[in-house]
Structure 1
Amino acid sequence: MKDKPQLTVEGCRARQRRLRKRMGALGVERAVMVTREHVQWLTGFRPHWLMSAAAVLDLEGDCTLIAPNSEPEFHAADQVATFPMQWQATLRMEAMQAIAEAMGQAVDRGDAVVGAEFSSFGPHAAAAVGEARVDLDPVLWELRRVKESDEVAMIRKAIACSDAMYRRAREIIRPGISELEVFAQLHAAAVEEAGEALSHQLGNDYQCNSPGGPARDGVVANDGELYILDLGPAYRGYFADNCRAFAVNGQPTEAQLRAWEVIVSVFDIVKEMVRPGVSCRALYDRCKALLDEADPTGSFWHHLGHGIGLYPHEAPHLNPNWDDVFQEGEIFTV
C-alpha cells in the first residue's frame, strides 16, 4: 500500500482563518467559492472531476460545504448540505443550479456583504446568497502562495510520482522507442507511485527532438537526439513540475554538456538570492544575463520558473511580466 497524504482538518482550519482575516480587512461578511480548487483548499473535499461543489465561509459563523449526492467521509466544514448530482446514476448538467438551491436552503440569504470568485460566480449563486460585491479571485490566489504543511505533503507526493516517471524514463529511452510508448510507460510509473488512478495529462512535453508538446503518433526517438521531458503529475489536485533532458543514445555531446553546465549554474544563483522579500524579477534578470552571456543570440526567451500548487502555474512568477516578491512558505520550480 502506498502512502496517500491528504489535506488535514488542521490545515483547512488554518486556511479558513487566513481567509477570514482578509475578509475582515475587505469588509466581506460572507465568502462563496464555487471552483473545485478553492472548495478543496478551504474544506479539504475535492469532488470527482465530473461533479461540482461549493463552499460558503461566514466571517462570524460557519464554513458550509455544498457537496454532491452525500456528505463526504472527510471534510473540514462545520455543516454540510447536499444536492442530487445524479438522478438514477445519470449526471445532471445543471449542477450549478442544484448547488444554488441547496445553498439557499443551508445559509440565510440576509444582507451580508458577499465576496466571490468573479471569474466563476454566476446568477444562480447570486440568487441564493446575494450579489457579490468583492472579487475574491486575487485574494485567494495570493493566499494560495503560502502552503500549509498538509499542502506540502500533497506536493511532495506529486513530486514522488514525477521522480518515478524519470526513473522509468532512464530505463526505457533508447533509439527506436516511440513517443507514445514513453508516455504510456511514464503514466504507468506515476500511477504505480500514486497508488491510484491519475487522469491528468501529467505534464506538457513528451516530444523527442523538439522544444515540447504532447506525444505524437508514429514518432520515434533517434540516435543523436535529445529527449526533453517536462513532467507535471497532479496528485489529488496538487501539481509537481520537473523538467529533464535525456540524450537518446546515452552519450551527450560536448556542446550539450557545456549547455547543461551553464543551466545548472543557474541553481547556484537561485540558492544565493532567494529569500523572503527578494524581487523575482531581479532573480530573473540576473539568471537571464548569465544565460545570455553563454549564448549571445539571446535564445533564452522563456520564464525562469513559477509557483506550483492547485494550478500548474501559480505565484511567485519568475517572469519579467510580473513583479512578485518571494514570501516564506512558497513552493516554486525553476
Structure 2
Amino acid sequence: MTKESSDLYPVARLAAAQEATASAGLGALLLTPGPDLRYVTGYEALPLERLTCLALPAEGPAFLVVPRLELPAAEHSPAARLGIEFVPWDETDDPYALVAARLGGAGKVGRVGLADRMWAMQSLRFRDALPGAEQVLAGTVLRELRMRKSEAEVAALREAGAAIDAVHAQVPGFLRAGRTEREVGRDIAEAILAAGHTTVDFVIVGSGHNGASPHHELSDRIIQPGEPVVVDIGGQMPSGYCSDSTRVYSVGEPPKEFTRYYEVLQRAQEAACAAVRPGVSCESVDAAAREVIAAEGYGDYFIHRTGHGIGLETHEEPYIVAGNTEALAPGHAFSVEPGIYLPGEHGARIEDILVCTEEGGERLNHRPRELVIV
C-alpha cells in the first residue's frame, strides 16, 4: 500500500463513518460493492450475486463478509489496513443471515443504512434477514463526509483533470469531415485509457443537430463541413476518482447563430465559476450562469442543471441546481457546465471541474474554452 493510497483512503475514515452512523440514529451501515464501500475502506470489490458487505455497527467492531473465493482480493486491498475482521462464507451459507446474526439478530437493529447502489435483490434479502428494521439510504449518513474532499482527494481529482485535458488536446486531430461520430469516439476512448484512466465512463460526440442532445453519445452520423461538435468525455483513474470535461469544436467555420450564442455561453460559464466561494448557495452558482443566458434570449435552451458533484462517482452531491440552498464549503468538488441547445440545429456546452477553496474556486481543467476550429 503506497502512502498516496493511505492518504486517499485513510484508516480514520472508518471511525468517522461509524460516528456518523451513531449520530444519525442508525444501528448499522451495510455497504456492498460500489462507491460507498470504496470510500470507507478503499476496497474496489467486484459487484457479484455473491454478497460482499461491510457491516459497520454504530457501536462495536466492523466486519467484512466476503465470499471465500474473493477473500484473497479483500486481503490485498486497502481494507486490510483497517483492522476489521474478514468473515468468509462458503457456497452453501446464507450470508444475509450471517450478517444479521453477527449484528445481534433481527431485534437489535432498529434502523439500517443500505449502500445507495445496493442491488434491490440484496436489499430485499436484508429485509427478510432483519425483519422490522427500517431501511434507509447510507448516503444520508455518508454525504457530508463524501462531499468534503480531503487534500488527497483533491489531488486525485487534479490528476484526473490533467488526464482528461490531455485527451481534449488530441481531439482536433481526430475530427474531420467525412468521419463518423463513432469513429471519432473510438479514437477518444483509446486516448482516455492511454492518458492513464482505468475505465472509459462515457464518450459524447454530438455533431450538427446531435449536439442539441446533451447526452447524445455516439452514432454513425457522418460529420459535415461547418458543423459544431460537442465532445464530453470522462473516465475513472486508478485512484478511483473521476474526470469529466466538455469542449466544443467546429469542423470549419460554424453558422453565425452558433458563434453568437457560443460567446454567450462562454460568459455564462465564466460568471458561474466566478461565483464559487465558501458560503454561497449551490443554486446561486446555477443562477449566475442562467441569468447571462436568459438575458440574451436563450434561457429556454438551457435545459439542465449547471453542475454536479464529482469524486468516486461522476455524478454525486452537491448538485448545482435551482432549489439547492446548501452552502458551498471548502472541499466541495463539482462541475460547472452550462449549455445552450437549439433542437434540430446544434448545441454547445462548456464544462470544467471546480473545487471550492477558502478563497473561491479552483478550476481543475485548463484547456482553452474558446471554440476550437479544426
Q: TM-score, normalised by structure 1?
A: 0.81
More strand by share: 2
| Contact 1:32/1:116 (8 A) holds in 2 | yes
Match of 1:80 in 2: 86
Distance in 2 between residues matched to 1:229 and 1:8, nearest whole Å = 35
SS in 2 for 1:230: strand
| Contact 1:173-1:182 within 8 A present in 2 as well | yes
Shift of 1:57: 1.4
- 1:222-250 CA-to-partner distances (Å, cap 9, x unmatched) read 1010110111212355332211110023x
> In the alignment, which residue of structure 2 is the partner of 1:177?
179
Q: How far did residue 316 of structure 1 move? A: 1.8
Counterpart in 2 of 1:322? 324
List runs of 5+ in structure 2 lacking aligned partners. Answer: 337-374
Q: Given the alignment, which residue of 244, 248, 256 partners 2:247?
A: 244
Superposition pairs of residues 253-292 of structure 1, within 5 angstroms: 255-292=257-294
Q: How does 1:47-58 map to 2 (within 5 A)?
A: 47-50=45-48, 53-58=52-57
Mapped partners of 1:82, 1:312: distance in 2: 32
Partner of 1:306: 308
Contact 2:275 2:288 in 1 (8 A): no
Measure how far apart 1:56 and its partner are: 1.2
Q: Could you tell me the percent identity over the aligned residues?
A: 22
1:20 aligns with 2:18: yes
Are 1:46 and 2:48 an aligned pair? no
Q: In structure 2, give the amino acid aligned to 1:207.
A: G
Structure 1: gaps spanning 5 or more residues: 88-93
Which secondary structure state, in structure 2, belongs to the residue aligned with residue 19 of structure 1? helix
Mean Cα deviation higher: 33-42 or 251-260:
251-260
Q: CA deviation at 1:143?
A: 3.1
Q: Offset of 1:107 from its aligned partner?
A: 5.2
| 2:184 paired with 1:187 | no
The CA deviation at 1:332 is: 0.4
One of 113, 117, 139 as aligned partner of 2:114: 117
| 2:104 is aligned with 1:103 | no
Question: Is the 2:197–2:236 Cα contact (8 Å) retained in structure 1?
Answer: no
CA contact 1:9–1:75 (8 Å) conserved in 2: no
Shift of 1:106: 5.7
State the match for 1:32 in structure 2: 30
Range moving further from structure 2, 19-28 or 97-106:
97-106
CA contact (8 A) 1:169 1:186 kept: yes
More displaced stretch, 111-120 vs 228-237: 111-120
Decide whether aligned partners of structure 1 residues 106 and 188 sit closer, same or farther in structure 2, where only a CA change above 3 A counts: farther
Task: Work out whether residues 82 and 102 of structure 1, in 8 Å CA contact, stay in contact via their aligned partners in 2.
Answer: no
> Aligned pairs, how many?
316
Correspondence list, 1:101-180, <5 A: 101=97, 103-104=99-100, 108-109=104-105, 111-117=108-114, 120=118, 122-126=123-127, 131-133=132-134, 135=136, 136-180=138-182
1:166 deviation in Å? 1.3
Structure 2 CA distance, aligned partners of 1:190 and 1:10? Answer: 22
After TM superposition, give the deviation of residue 126 of structure 1 in Å. 4.5
Task: Give 1:271 shift.
Answer: 3.9
Cα distance change, pair 55–220 in 1 and its aligned pair in 2 (3 A): same
- Measure how far apart 1:10 and its partner are: 6.6
Could you say if the C-alpha distance between residues 98 and 134 of structure 1 is closer, same or farther in structure 2, counting changes exceeding 3 Å? closer
Structure 2 counterpart of 1:202: 202
Q: Secondary structure at the match of 1:215?
A: coil
Greater Cα offset, 30-39 or 118-127: 118-127
**Which residue type is aligned with residue 42 of structure 2?**
G
3-state SS, counterpart of residue 318 of structure 2: strand
* Structure 1 residues 69-104: Cα deviation after superposition (integer angstroms, max 9, x where no partner): 2142122342212345xx7xxxxxx9xx85425535
Q: TM-score if structure 2 supplies the norm length?
A: 0.73
Quote how far apart the aligned CAs of 1:117 are: 2.0
Q: Which amino acid is the alignment partner of residue 223 of structure 2?
A: A
> Does the 8 A contact of 2:43 with 2:77 survive in 1?
yes
Q: Report the secondary structure of 1:278's partner residue.
A: coil
**What letter corresponds to residue 160 of structure 2 in structure 1?**
A
Tell me if the contact between 1:202 and 1:234 (Cα under 8 Å) persists in the aligned partners. no
Which whole-Å CA distance do the structure 2 matches of 1:191 and 1:156 have between them? 17
RMSD: 3.1
User: Which amino acid is 2:25 matched to?
Assistant: G
